Amino acid sequence: MEKKSLSSKTRIMVESAILIAIGTVLSLIKIVSLPYGGSVTVGALVPIIIIAYRWGAGWGVASGFIYGIVQQLIGIHVLGYVTTWYSIIAVILLDYAVAFAVIGFGGLFRKVIKDQALALALGALLACVLRFICHVVSGATVWAGLSIPNEAALIYSLAYNSTYMIPETLVTFFASYYLGSVLDFGKPVPERIVRQNRRVPVLRICAWGLITAALIADVALIFSKLQDAESGEWLSGGLALVNWTAVIVVTCAAAVVTALLFIADMIIKKRKTRY
C-alpha cells in the first residue's frame, strides 16, 4: 500500500509539474498587455484549475503557489518599483504567491456539481474572483502613491485591475467549460468524452468565443489609452485618444455575427428535432 501511495503521489507531482510548465508557457502568450502591469493570456490559469479539480485543493493551492513564484521570477523587475523590504514582501505575497495560490480552489465544485464542464467553469470563476481580490488589496495598499494615486486608491485599484481581470476571467471560464465538456478529468488519465446522438453546438461555441474576443479587443483599444506607459498614472483625457470608430465597428460586427450564429444554431437544432 505504501509503495502504491508513493507511486500515486509521484505521478501527481509529475503531472502537476507538467501542467505548471504548460501554464507558464501560456502566460507568455499575451492577447492583451496593459502598459503598466496586468495582461490577458490564452488561458494560463486553466492548467492549475485542472490540477485542483483532479487532485483536490491541497495540490491545487501548492501548484498555484509554485506557479506564482515562477511568475514572480519572470516579472522580477516589478520589485524595482517598490522601495521598502516590507513592501517587497507584500508584492511577492499579494500579487504573486497568494494571488495564484488561490487558483487552487478552482476544483471545489467537483463534489457539489455533477456536470464536469459547469463545475470547472464555476471553479474558474471563483478562482479568478479570489485572485482579483488579492490584486485589488495590493493596489490599494502597496501600490498606493506609486502607480496608483493615494486619493480613492481602492476605487482606482478596482477599476485598473478590472481592465485585465474581467477578460482574463472570461477566457478562463470558457476555456475551462470547453475542456470540461470534451475531456473526462475524473479518469486516471483524461479521456475524450464520447457522446452518442448528441449534437456538438459548434455555432454556439463560436458565438461565445466571438463575444469574448470582441470584449478583449475593446479592452485593448480603450484601456491602453487610459494609462501613462511610463508612470502608470491614470489619464482621464485618454478617452479622447481612443479609436472609437474601431471600438464601434468591432462591437457592432461581433454583435451581428453572434446573433446570426445563435439564430443559425436554433434553426439547425429545430430541423434535427423534426427529423
Average of pLDDT values for 25-47? Answer: 85
Residue 180 has pLDDT above 50, yes or no: yes
**What integer pLDDT is reported at residue 150 of this predicted model?**
60
**What integer pLDDT is reported at residue 163 of this predicted model?**
78
pTM of full prediction above 0.85: no
pLDDT tens column, 111-170 = 999 999 999 999 999 999 999 999 988 878 876 666 555 666 788 788 788 878 888 998
Q: Which residue has the higher pLDDT, 3 or 31?
A: 31
Cα 97 to Cα 59, 65, 186, distances in angstroms: 15, 5, 28
Task: Tell me the pLDDT band of 110, cut-offs 50, 70 and 90.
Answer: very high
Are residues 189 and 149 in contact, defined by beta-carbon separation less than 8 angstroms?
no
Q: Is 199 helix (H, G, I), strand (E, B) or coil?
A: coil
How far apart (Å, rounded) are the C-alpha atoms in residues 203 and 126? 27
| 20: amino acid identity, one letter | I
Backbone angles phi, psi at 63, to 5 degrees: -65, -40
All three cell numbers of 89, joined, read 514582501
Buried residues in 180-211 as b, exposed as e (16+ CB within 10 A) = bbebebeeeeeeeeeeeeeeeeebbbbbbbbb
Residues in the chain: 275
- Give the dihedral of Cα atoms 153, 154, 159, 164; nearest 10 deg: 100
CA atoms lying within 13 Å on the CB side of residue 127: 38
All three cell numbers of 112, joined, read 457539489
Average of pLDDT values for 25-43? Answer: 83
How far apart (Å, rounded) are the C-alpha atoms in residues 137 and 251? 32
All three cell numbers of 72, joined, read 514572480
Q: Pick from 219, 168, 206, 209: which is nearest to 49 by CA?
A: 168
Are residues 142 and 91 in contact, defined by beta-carbon separation less than 8 angstroms?
yes
Buried residues in 87-109 as b, exposed as e (16+ CB within 10 A) = bbebbbbbbbbbbbbbbbbbbbb
